[in-house]
Structure 1
Amino acid sequence: MTRLTARFWIDAYLTRLRGLDIPAFIVARGDDDAGSVLVKLNRLDGQATIYHRSYNLMEDTRSWSILEQGSEAEVDACIHRQRKNDPDVWVIEVEDRQGRHMLDQPGFA
């Protein structure tokens, strides 16, 4: 099975969000081909959640799960630690008061 490049997935994700009028931005650029992706959901109330892809070995599936949740400062510190350990990671920030991130929708789940 051919895997999508990180950049291709990110471009599709940002396009989908723009189509729904959900602001999203590339905060940190990683490796175009194989960089992992973190999605920060900023609810614009001082709270944020960071999502990352996780792999379920027992079910042989990948899904988005919460890496960190709390104040925006705590989430930003988590992102900083992740980028320090892996400089190839991408960080996408989604800003939505309703908490929409679309990661649970077909094509992104």
Structure 2
Amino acid sequence: MSGRLPSGVLVSAILRRVNDAGGMGMMLAKGDPQGGAILIIALENNANPRALERGITSDGTVGLLRWTPRDMGDSAEVTAYWQRRRRNDPDLWVIELDIPFVERFAAETILDH
């Protein structure tokens, strides 16, 4: 048995934490409840969209990998990115978080478990 919490539990936890802190979190696509990867569409004040995902960083440690659209104001590019990822991985969870310091909320929830 793995020491990691199921993806569905982590998604629920991060959405609850963000909403409790006065931000907004919503599920865009539901993935595999046990082991699906989690892709976070991160916003701050409904601006600067980027995608965050747990993965192996360049130094070999587990961390948050960031994808940023070429045009920081282009939400359509972000939507196309996550929809393309979802077509290739139907187990992928996609959530959107809009709160200051969004990377901190993501890291504290999905990296610590």
TM range (shorter): 0.7 to 0.9
Q: 1:79 aligns with which of 79, 82, 86?
A: 82
TM-score (normalizing by structure 2):
0.79
Amino acid at match of 1:13: I
The CA RMSD measured in Å over matched residues stands at: 2.1
Structure 1 position 68, deviation (Å): 3.1
Amino acid at match of 1:7: G
C-alpha offsets along residues 17-69 of structure 1, whole Å, 9 cap, x if unaligned?
Answer: 12211100011000000100000013424x4111111114854x311121233
Residues 74, 66 of structure 1: alpha-carbon distance in 2 compared, 3 angstrom cutoff:
same
C-alpha offsets along residues 46-99 of structure 1, whole Å, 9 cap, x if unaligned?
Answer: x4111111114854x311121233321111111011011101100001123x45
2:62 maps to 1:62:
yes
1:1-109 aligned at under 5 Å gives the runs 1-43=2-44, 44-45=46-47, 47-56=48-57, 59=60, 61-69=61-69, 70=72, 71-96=74-99, 98=100, 100-101=102-103, 102-105=105-108, 107-109=109-111
What percent of counterpart residues are identical?
25
Q: Provide structure 1 residue ranges, at least 5 long, that are not aligned to the other structure.
A: none
Residues 67, 4 of structure 1: alpha-carbon distance in 2 compared, 3 angstrom cutoff:
same
Q: Aligned with 2:76: secondary structure? A: helix
Q: Provide structure 2 residue ranges, at least 5 long, that are not aligned to the other structure.
A: none
Residues 19, 58 of structure 1: alpha-carbon distance in 2 compared, 3 angstrom cutoff:
same
Contact 1:53 1:62 in 2 (8 A): yes
Instruction: Point out the structure with the larger helix share.
Output: 2
Count of residue pairs brought into register by the alignment? 105
